[in-house]
Amino acid sequence: MRKIMRSVAVAAAVTLVAAGCADSGGGSGSGSGPIVVGSVNALSGAATFPEASAAAKAVFDAANASGGVNGRQIQYKALDDKGDPAAAATAAREVVGADNAVALVGSSSLIECEINNKYYEQQKILSISGIGVDPACFNSPNISPANVGPYHDMTLTLLYGSEVLKLDNICALLEIAGNTLPSYQAAIDEWTKITGKKLTYMDATVPYGGSDYTSYIVKARSAGCKSITVNPVEPDSIGQLKAAAAQGWNDVTWLLLTSVYSENYAKAVSNAGAGVYVPAEFYPFTDSASSQNKEWRELMTKNNIPLTSFSQGGYLAAKYFLQVIKGISGEINRESVTKALQEMQPISDPMVGTPYVFGKGKTHHDNTAGWPIKLTTGSNKWELAADDWLRIPKS
């Protein structure tokens, strides 16, 4: 992953040069032809997120089966960035420049926002990402993710730990790829601003894909940490929990992010210390009886799409998009879609704790709510840890 992210800066520079040579077509949309919608996703490579675009496609397929939008079909093109900066740039130019998409919907990638955000500005096209990951997803006027994102997620998990669980001596072990450290630091600073509290200890040198996390765990324990916040991928977190258990550190509380929220992770964790707590970015999908997720769950099951946070994000991105363009009078093209998204009214959905709106802002990081869930030692399953959304207070 580090190798991928180190390539981002170079590829971004190439992207800017290429953008200057690209045309700025108005997008598909006149007459009775299909409405082309695209997305750029990590469908292959080291880390993949196929569920988001698959979920968006399922939403569009269902809409097409019911007559489409004003009698026109949605033609959805989900392209693969392969976790490669050059491929991400090429994919965006294919769907935006060659295919004349009216918008991007449901994208999910580690790198594509960083690579393509300036190109989207130049082409005057907007993107409703299914899952925003890198900082550029939340700092661009042309990208507005459906999800909370890892940075607000970090603030939320710290707030739950200090204000609800009443934990003290909270520490951070951060896995930093590319230019993400300032964003994670800003998330921690936001927690400090709200609570007046500070971390006991922070180590931002923790590697992705480490073979042995023992030394990092030993140092955190020696620093007096009672709880730890981490931004890991699932295998790394499992390794960190195992390292703590091997040291006999069974009373540490883990304040993690939605990145570890899966049923496979729960099955793999036998010793969760004093508990793993996560603010789920969407209403918890493991609550199988929930009315909040009923329509999503039925559509995903019908289309054999995994029930994950990624598919929730792609599903919602497509739903938001459809609701907005159905209100467009006249031609549906890139210009009218952009105008409609920038002028849209907020859309509320029971699957999220914050209404969605694209708007005209220079940045888009407005989803600020998570639903607390927990994984306790020996349970091998996620449980609700609250009966309402946890929200970051407005400053």
pLDDT tens digits for range 181-224: 999 999 999 999 999 999 999 999 999 889 999 999 999 999 99
Q: Is the pLDDT of residue 97 over 90?
A: yes
Instruction: Please report the sign of the dihedral spanned by the C-alpha atoms of residue 13, residue 15, residue 21, residue 25.
Output: negative
The answer to whether 79 and 51 have CB atoms below 8 angstroms apart is no
Q: What is residue 154's predicted lDDT score, i.e. its pLDDT?
A: 98
pLDDT tens-digit readout, 8-35: 333 333 333 333 333 344 565 455 799 9
Q: Is the pLDDT of residue 292 over 80?
A: yes
Q: What is residue 26's predicted lDDT score, i.e. its pLDDT?
A: 52
When pLDDT is averaged across residues 154-181 and rounded to a whole number, the result is 96
Q: Is the pLDDT of residue 179 over 90?
A: no
Domain 150-280+370-391 has CATH 3.40.50.2300: yes
Q: Give residue limits of the domains in the chain.
A: 35-149+289-364, 150-280+370-391
Q: What is residue 216's predicted lDDT score, i.e. its pLDDT?
A: 98
Q: What is residue 1's predicted lDDT score, i.e. its pLDDT?
A: 38
When pLDDT is averaged across residues 42-55 and rounded to a whole number, the result is 92
User: What letter would DSSP give residue 393?
Assistant: P
pLDDT tens-digit readout, 293-307: 999 999 999 999 999
Residue closest to 338 by CA, chosen among 2, 76, 105, 20: 105
Average pLDDT of every residue of the chain: 92
Calpha distance 219→240 (Å, rounded): 13
Q: What is residue 22's predicted lDDT score, i.e. its pLDDT?
A: 39
Q: Is the pLDDT of residue 126 over 80?
A: yes
When pLDDT is averaged across residues 340-362 and rounded to a whole number, the result is 97
Percentage of the chain exceeding pLDDT 70: 92
Please name the fold of domain 35-149+289-364: Rossmann fold (3.40.50)
Q: What is residue 49's predicted lDDT score, i.e. its pLDDT?
A: 87
Fold agreement between 35-149+289-364 and 150-280+370-391: yes
Confidence class for position 258, pLDDT limits 50, 70, 90: very high
**Alpha helices, DSSP H, located in the chain:** 2-6, 8-21, 50-65, 85-92, 112-123, 150-159, 181-195, 214-222, 234-246, 263-268, 294-302, 309-325, 334-343
